[in-house]
Amino acid sequence: MTTNAAQAVTSIGRCASCDAPLSGPYCSRCGERTLEPDALTLRHFLVHTVLQELLNIEGALWRTLRLLFVRPGRLTLEYVAGRRRPYINPFRLLLIAIVVYLLMTSSGLIAFWKIGPVKMNIAPAAFRPDRSIEGTIEQIDRYGLLRRQVAAKQQQLASDAAREQFHNRLTAFAQPVSFANVVLFAAALHVCFRRKGRRFLEHAAFSMHFVSFVLLSSVLLVPAIRFRVWLFGYLFLVIVLIGFWQFGYLTIAIRRFYLTEGRWGSWLLAFAAAILLYALNSAFMNAVQVAGAAIALAMV
């Protein structure tokens, strides 16, 4: 009897992550799933991992994206209420959105509204490496701040090597720093709605959700720009519609998350806050691009 009991104890599997005894397919301590014999085969990966994540409409990824796109601000409300397991963590969602945005815009994307001398944009620019240095600077330097620096290095900018070096260094600086607008949004929200009693992490979650939406919705501009010949001159209309969609989304999200009381007054405050955030973000994006171009020019 003693020998059988000892064999039963030693035959019990142990969790690979926390070494706790296992009594089923999942660890009762940390939730780790037991490693099945064929779990490392390509067939198991394709059938049980890839297809399950892509086709399962109730999966965390699709559930998160559906709520993100359809119900502005609701995903943040779910997060701060503690209902986090059904959805992807805001930071992880932001990383996914950044990777998708960078992959889809690798050939270049600069979309903005021009209102007089003011350039309004909300998504980071992706610069075309085949464009001339002067052409890129003309797009991002609307106020001629780099005019003297360009004139002083006119001869060095003509070569293909200089053009490639300039765009590589501009991209290496501007794109990573542009994604810091998440912190800018969170700080601005904290200042605007400090009387609402929200913690900074709640503002940060709202910011990460909104920036994720902006990046993923801006990806829709890529096929529109690529096939602009088929749009018969309506590319600008597509850009405007996506811009209004993002602005309207921000207004509704602010109203739903921060201004739950009142009616018309709350909507006006949400609209004003959205304009302020949009303007701050545009100023930040423009400053980052100009600073990146100045650094790239200095290193050519």
- On whether the CB atoms of residues 270 and 258 are closer than 8 A, the answer is yes
User: What three-state secondary structure class fits 82?
Assistant: coil
Count the domains in the chain: 2
Query: pLDDT (tens digit, 9 = 90+) per residue, 148-159?
Result: 888 887 777 778
Mean pLDDT of 272-281: 90
95-99, 119-123, 160-164: range with lowest mean pLDDT = 119-123
User: What three-state secondary structure class fits 136?
Assistant: helix
**Winning range, highest mean pLDDT, from 95-99, 108-112, 173-177:** 95-99
Position 118 scores a pLDDT of 55
Non-local (6+) Cβ contacts of 148 within 8 A are none
Position 55 scores a pLDDT of 56
DSSP string of 218-286, one letter each residue: HTTHHHHHHTGGGGTT-HHHHHHHHHHHHHHHHHHHHHHHT--S-SHHHHHHHHHHHHHHHHHHHHHHH
Q: DSSP class of residue 21?
A: B
90 vs 153 pLDDT, higher one: 90
- On whether the CB atoms of residues 87 and 205 are closer than 8 A, the answer is no
Give yes or no: residues 149 and 273 share one domain: yes
Give yes or no: residues 120 and 28 share one domain: no
Task: Write out the residue range of the structural domain in which residue 266 sits.
Answer: 105-298
Model confidence at 166, pLDDT cuts 50, 70, 90, reads: confident
Q: Is residue 8 situated within a structural domain? A: yes
Give yes or no: residues 122 and 268 share one domain: yes
Position 257 scores a pLDDT of 95
Per-residue pLDDT at 163 exceeds 50: yes
Position 201 scores a pLDDT of 93
50-54, 76-80, 207-211, 288-292: range with lowest mean pLDDT = 50-54
Q: Is residue 281 situated within a structural domain? A: yes
6-20, 34-48, 109-123, 247-261: range with lowest mean pLDDT = 109-123
Q: Is residue 87 situated within a structural domain? A: no
Q: Is residue 73 situated within a structural domain? A: no
Give yes or no: residues 128 and 14 share one domain: no
Q: What mean pLDDT value characterizes the chain?
A: 80
- On whether the CB atoms of residues 242 and 225 are closer than 8 A, the answer is no
- On whether the CB atoms of residues 293 and 140 are closer than 8 A, the answer is yes
39 vs 148 pLDDT, higher one: 148
pTM: 0.77
- On whether the CB atoms of residues 76 and 206 are closer than 8 A, the answer is yes
Q: Is residue 231 situated within a structural domain? A: yes
115-124, 190-199, 236-245: range with lowest mean pLDDT = 115-124
The tokens describing 152, both together, are 């002083």
Give yes or no: residues 132 and 213 share one domain: yes
Give yes or no: residues 9 and 141 share one domain: no
Give yes or no: residues 22 and 112 share one domain: no
- On whether the CB atoms of residues 195 and 141 are closer than 8 A, the answer is no
**What's the Rg (C-alpha) of the chain?**
25
Give yes or no: residues 27 and 138 share one domain: no
- On whether the CB atoms of residues 89 and 64 are closer than 8 A, the answer is no
What is the distance between the alpha carbons of residues 70 and 53, in angstroms, rounded to a whole number?
Answer: 20
Q: Is residue 97 situated within a structural domain? A: no
Mean pLDDT of 8-32: 71
Give yes or no: residues 152 and 260 share one domain: yes
Per-residue pLDDT at 198 exceeds 80: yes
Q: Is residue 153 situated within a structural domain? A: yes
Q: Is residue 94 situated within a structural domain? A: no
Give yes or no: residues 23 and 117 share one domain: no
